[in-house]
Amino acid sequence: MSDSDVKFEARQTIEQVEEGDDLAPKFDDRGLITAVTTDATTGELLMQGYMNAEALSLTIQTGEAHYYSRSRQVLWHKGATSGFVQKVKELLVDDDQDCIWLRVEVAGGASCHVGYRSCFYRRIPVGQEFADKAAAGHIPLVWTDTDKVFDPEDVYGDAPNPTIL
């Protein structure tokens, strides 16, 4: 192994994982770790995805976000198709090291396959607003963004939609 390879440490103690400087990520039984991606400038949550060990290694080495696509079951260099590459400004890990936070800049400004800047373009009414709006149990989602940055058909063509029902 050369110094340019990424080596993850074995998880040995809680103190090591929570209070130490070892990178000892916890991949789940599918070999995946949760990844949360926010806009480095605005703090907006852009997307939530998953990484396998290869995706995390490549993200660390290249400074560009790589994920693992569960629907397509492939390593996924974000932006390879759409051009909306995510440049990692800061990469963080949480206390028990089962989640990675990417603070990114996005070329072109979009991160959502539906065409919006963020995958989170609808909000759920909460508390009194929920009580006021819910009728016969139906909670109407409210759009927080209605301006698509791109047309998915132009970018992805006939590629299958990644959403799984």
- Applying the rule CB under 8 A, the residues between 30 and 69 that interact with its own copies are 34, 36, 38, 42-45, 47-48, 59-63
Question: Taking the complex as a whole, how short is the minimal distance between the CB of residue 80 and its own copies, in angstroms?
Answer: 18
Encoded amino acid at 19, one letter: E
Distances (CA, A) of 46 to 40, 88, 161: 10, 13, 18
One of 29, 73, 137, 147 touching its own copies (CB under 8 A): 137
Q: Closer CB to its own copies, residue 42 or residue 81?
A: 42
Q: Which helix (H) or strand (E) holds 79?
A: none
Q: Token pair for residue 109? A: 């400004």
The reply on whether position 23 binds its own copies by CB under 8 A is yes
CB atoms within 10 A of CB 52: 16
Q: Closer CB to its own copies, residue 74 or residue 142?
A: 142
One of 90, 105, 153, 159 touching its own copies (CB under 8 A): 90
What does the DSSP 8-state code read for residue 62? H
